[in-house]
Each structure stands twice: as C-alpha cells, then as structure tokens.
A and B are shown apart, each in its own frame.
Chain A
C-alpha cells in the first residue's frame, strides 16, 4: 500500500518561502507523476502543479512564478517550495500521486493526509 506523508513547518512568515516534503512509502517514486494541491480554509481545492520522477514539471499558471517542485529518487520523496508567501497561501497542502490504467491518461489515485500551513507574522 503506497502512503504519502507531507511534512513541513506549520507556520510561515509573510514574504518567506514555504517548503514542504512528501515522503512516499510502500512503493517507488519512479515512473509516476506527483502533484501538489491545496485547500485554503473555506474554499475549494486548488491545483498547484505536478512533477514527473525525471524532474519534468508543470505548474499552475497563477502560481508558476513562485513555485518550484523537485524530486529526490534516492530518498523517495518530492518537495514543494512556494516563494514570497502571503496570508492567501494559508491552506492545507496535499501531496498526491497521478496514476494511470493505460499510461496515457493520468488521474489522482492516491492522496496524502495533508499538512496545514498558516502564513502569519
């Protein structure tokens, strides 16, 4: 059973960088896409972007100027950095795996439990 565990600081100072890690257990990070999604309080889900195990990325147009994702295959983990945060970046951040039944169409088949990040001074 593949499990995803997000970790990082629960509180980030405005204008600083939010850094999160997603540890993958029970399976390899290889050959999959890995995504980050967030849910601000009282709002819906927002897609942040995804990264292939090779390092290829695709980011949300609204966040791409501030987002960086990376993979560490030796540690079996993916990471998210979000620069210059404001209160609007306060959210539950989810790590997720994009699975496929045909290696052509990919959908989110496994989600982490999420980690809460508050941006405040």
Chain B
C-alpha cells in the first residue's frame, strides 16, 4: 500500500503571507502516462472537502490562482501565494495511483 505523509500537521500564517504544505509518498506517483497521480483537497470548517488541485498540478475549476501544486516522484507541495482568511481549514493530499490514500491532513490557521 502507498503511504502518504504530510508536513507540517499544523500551520499558522498571517494574511497576505505565503504558505506551503508538503506531501511525501512511499513510492513514486508517476504514472505511465507521464502524469503524477496526486490531488489536493481542502476541508473548511463545517463543510465537506473540496478539490483544489488534481493530477499533481492542475487547478480545479473555480480555484483561485493563489493555489498551486508542484513536485515530482515522491515529493509534492501545495503552495498558497498569499493566504486569505477564507483559506482556513484542513488540507489533504491524496494519492490516486494505487487505490486512493489520504495524507493525515494539515490544519491551516490564520
């Protein structure tokens, strides 16, 4: 089974500052198509999760361009260029190469 590990588990950021969350998998998430099989989701307080990034780098429809995904192999990063108050919540990465596995989640606070 592919294990996915996020860091940090909690993050406190001032509005307007950047934030970065790391996601590391126990094996490469590179698919034979050349794409990376990793998504990022955000669960805001009291809400269901929502997709931010799919297939490694692709921003989902309606997601602000402040959010970006990067990485390769086993190491991936979600970056928020300028954090806003509405960004608070728990961020999850999820590998989709073999079955699906979520990371533990990273709680972002302002």
Interface residues of A, Cβ cutoff 8 Å to B: 35, 44-47, 50, 58, 60-62, 94, 101, 104-109, 111-114
A-B residue pairs, 6 tightest by C-beta: A111-B48, A107-B54, A47-B100, A44-B105, A45-B102, A44-B104
Q: In whole angstroms, what is the CA distance A107 to B92 when docked?
A: 13
The reply to whether B55 and A107 contact each other, CB–CB distance below 8 Å, is yes
Q: Is B60 an interface residue (CB 8 A)?
A: yes
The smallest beta-carbon distance between A34 and chain B, in angstroms, is 13
The smallest beta-carbon distance between A84 and chain B, in angstroms, is 21
The reply to whether A47 and B102 contact each other, CB–CB distance below 8 Å, is yes
The reply to whether B39 and A46 contact each other, CB–CB distance below 8 Å, is no
Q: In whole angstroms, what is the CA distance A114 to B46 when docked?
A: 11
Chain A positions within 8 Å of B86 at CB level: none
The smallest beta-carbon distance between A94 and chain B, in angstroms, is 6
- In the complex, which of the residues A46, A58, A111, A114 has the most CB atoms of chain B within 10 Å of its own CB atom? A111
The reply to whether B54 and A46 contact each other, CB–CB distance below 8 Å, is no
The smallest beta-carbon distance between B40 and chain A, in angstroms, is 10
Q: Is B17 an interface residue (CB 8 A)?
A: no
The reply to whether B48 and A114 contact each other, CB–CB distance below 8 Å, is yes
Select from chain B the residue with minimum beta-carbon distance to A94.
B48
